[in-house]
Amino acid sequence: MKNVLFIMPFLGRTGAERVIFNLVNNINSKEYKPHILLYADEPERNSLLRSLREDIPVTFLNVKGRARYNLHKIIFGIRRYCINEKIDTMLISDGTANAFISPFLFLLGDNVKKIARESNLPSLYEKNILAKFLYKSCYKNYDTIVVQSNDMLEDMTLQMGLPESKLIKINNPVDIKFIHEMCGKTPDFSYPKDKINLLTMGRMTYQKGFDILLNSFSKINHEKFHLTIVGTGEEKENLLKQVELLKLDSSITFIPSTDNPYALMKHADVFISSSRWEGYPNVVIESLACGTPVVANNYLGGINEIITATNGIICDIETELSNALNYVSSLSDVGIDNDKILKIYKEYESIL
């Protein structure tokens, strides 16, 4: 049986964290023994640990502050764990930290396979000059680099200069059984009963394009629709001011966070993904698994590999939101292909 170590800052609400949660909960337990190594023991940010399989060991590095300033603690913590637990494969999924660790992979042992899971488009997302340099010079030190979409594959090869032989494209998995169980629970928040309820969620950053969505939402019949935005982040104050300027206070609800996004997705009429770019939008797949159709902005990052004529529409959110909402209102029996999800788990197992 192979010992596989999954390394993350936290295991909670972000898309990347839910992907790792799905992998460790659904990995073939007859062939693989999953271990989880997290940066810090913060219950609020590790909410998914409550739903983790009981036989999976979880260890904390007790890192305080940003990962790049604690590299020595992270690297030697990983090394110590790999030696003590006889780890065969490690998979780290932390974007920028992946890059900062890449020059020091030789310290983690020659007998440990080292896999990086990339979750964004570094050429667009990464602002740190040193991190970009490390992507281009040292990221190839990983044995395998997992990307989720053709756009990510192109970004890593053409923009970051990585050899294609190091890259493998595997779409994000979802845990359909877990999602359906969570959908059956009462949502943490309720929607207005007399409106068509639109839902979006994610970290409030420039990338997520919530400002674009607010401008577009102000131009449609917002007496008919209600928009709920779930998330926090550096752009929240600007978004609140934008809502005030657009006089949308009665038509928009902000929710800081929820441990059960799936119940909210299930009870929404439409999920909206307004991003400027993504790596591969896990939240869109999850919405479809909840049976909720999606209106997505036409962005780079795999959205065209997810949305079809039967589950949603890709459009220019700025100018086509009204028509897009009319289109998805006619869709029914939205779902996700379970066989495709099972294939994704097998693809991950094949590289471990």
Per-residue pLDDT of 276-301, as tens digits, reads 999 888 899 999 999 999 999 999 88
For the record, the structure tokens of 265 come out as 């997705």
* pLDDT at residue number 74: 92
Report in angstroms the alpha-carbon separations of 44 from 22, 48, 150, 296, 343. Answer: 19, 10, 34, 30, 32
Nearest to 3 by CA among 81, 105, 59, 110: 81
Q: CA-to-CA distance for 93 and 316, rounded, in angstroms?
A: 31
Give the global pTM.
Answer: 0.86
Cβ(202)–Cβ(283) under 8 Å?
Answer: yes
Please, which pLDDT band fits residue 65 given cuts at 50, 70 and 90? confident
- Say yes or no to pLDDT of 271 above 90: yes
pLDDT at 253: 95
Q: How confident is the model at residue 231 (pLDDT cuts 50, 70, 90)?
A: very high
Q: Quick check: 303 and 311 in contact, CB under 8 A?
A: no
* Residues 13-56 pLDDT 10s: 788 888 999 999 999 989 999 999 999 998 888 988 988 988 99
> For 177-328, CATH number?
3.40.50.2000
pLDDT score at 346: 94
Strands 294-297 and 270-273: parallel
C-alpha neighbours within 13 Å on the C-beta side of residue 227: 25
CA distance 216 to 188: 27
Mean of per-residue pLDDT scores for the chain: 92
2-173+340-351 CATH: 3.40.50.2000
- Are 260 and 187 contacting, i.e. CB atoms less than 8 angstroms apart? yes
**Contact between 76 and 84 (Cβ < 8 Å):** no
Q: How far is CA 266 from the centre of its chain?
A: 18
How much is the pLDDT for 13? 74
Question: What residue has token string 């970290």?
Answer: 203
Q: What percent of the chain has pLDDT over 70?
A: 100
Delimiting residues of CATH 3.40.50.2000 domain(s) in the chain = 2-173+340-351, 177-328
* Strands in 70-148 per DSSP E: 89-92, 113-117, 144-147
Residues in the chain: 352
Q: Write down the pLDDT at residue 37.
A: 96
Across 181-195, 246-260, 312-326, 328-342, the highest mean pLDDT is recorded for 312-326
71-115 per-position pLDDT tens digit: 889 999 999 999 999 999 999 988 788 999 999 999 998 899 999
Please give the Cα distance from 200 to 14 (Å, whole number): 14
